[in-house]
A and B are shown apart, each in its own frame.
Chain A
Amino acid sequence: EIVLTQSPGTLSLSPGERATLSCRASQSVSSNYLAWYQQKPGQAPSLLIYGTSSRAAGIPDRFSGSGSGTDFTLTISRLEPEDFAVYFCQQYGSSPPLVTFGGGTKVEIK
């Protein structure tokens, strides 16, 4: 089973600042199989990025994803007030299918 480790656990930033979130895998992950989700308090997660770098429908371009192999990054170029939330990375492993999530990074207002 591939374990995803997200860092930092909490990121304290001000609106307008840049946020860089890390997701490290215990084994190599295909770039097609890495996604990011945003979860706001009391809400379900919502798909943000898929295939490492493709934005889901309606996601603004201040959100970007990158990486390969075992190291992946979610970047928010300029934080808006609505971006303060928890972010999870997720990978898919085939043969047999197995889905795992990282532990999450909370982006909070400084």
Chain B
Amino acid sequence: QVQLQESGPGLVKPSQTLSLTCTVSGGSISSGGYYWTWIRQHPGKGLEWIAYIHHSGSTYYNPSLMSRVSISVDTSKNQLSLNLGSVSAADTAVYYCAKGDTFGIRFDSWGRGTLVTVSS
């Protein structure tokens, strides 16, 4: 089973861009036809799907975040990346990367998550 590990700054200033990386091990990010995904969880709250990317390059975004989000895959490094622009305190959350199935319907492997706090 693949393993996922998020990394990036734990503190971002308001209006700046939040950038995170997810390193995939135990399997190639470019094989299997899976959907590689970012999901976040506000402190003490529920889960919010941000976006996912298919190994073919197709990307899909949550409409509520679409104007500020981009995701990409670096197959040479076996990494998934997230950029979220113009952040505010409302973007403070634990950010998870996850592996979706071949249809993007469910998520069967998750990273441990990384807490990102937006504060000056």
Contacts and interface: CB of A to CB of B under 8 A. Distances in A.
Interface of A: 1, 32-33, 35, 37, 43-47, 50, 56, 88, 90, 92, 96-104
Interface in B78-105: 96, 98, 103-105
Interface of B: 45-49, 52, 60, 62-63, 96, 98, 103-108, 110-113
Contacts of A96: 60
Contacts of A35: 105-107
Given A44-B113, A45-B110, A88 B47 contact: yes
Contact of B104 (A32, A44, A50, A97): A97
A90 B41 CA distance: 14
A101 B46 contact: yes
A100 B104 CA distance: 12
Given A33-B105, A44-B113, A45-B96, 14 more contacts: A37-B47, A37-B107, A44-B96, A45-B47, A46-B110, A50-B105, A90-B47, A90-B106, A92-B104, A97-B60, A99-B52, A100-B49, A101-B46, A101-B48
Contact of B49 (A43, A99, A104): A99
Give the interface centre of B62, B63, B105, B111 by most chain A CB atoms within 10 Å: B105
Contact of A101 (B49, B103, B112): B49
19 contacts: A35-B106, A35-B107, A37-B47, A37-B107, A44-B98, A44-B111, A45-B96, A47-B108, A50-B105, A90-B47, A90-B106, A90-B107, A92-B103, A92-B106, A97-B104, A98-B60, A101-B47, A101-B48, A104-B47
Contact of B112 (A44, A56, A100, A102): A44
Contact of B46 (A33, A44, A97, A104): A104
Contacts of B112: 43-44
A100 B50 CA distance: 10
Contacts of A104: 46-47
A104 B48 CA distance: 12
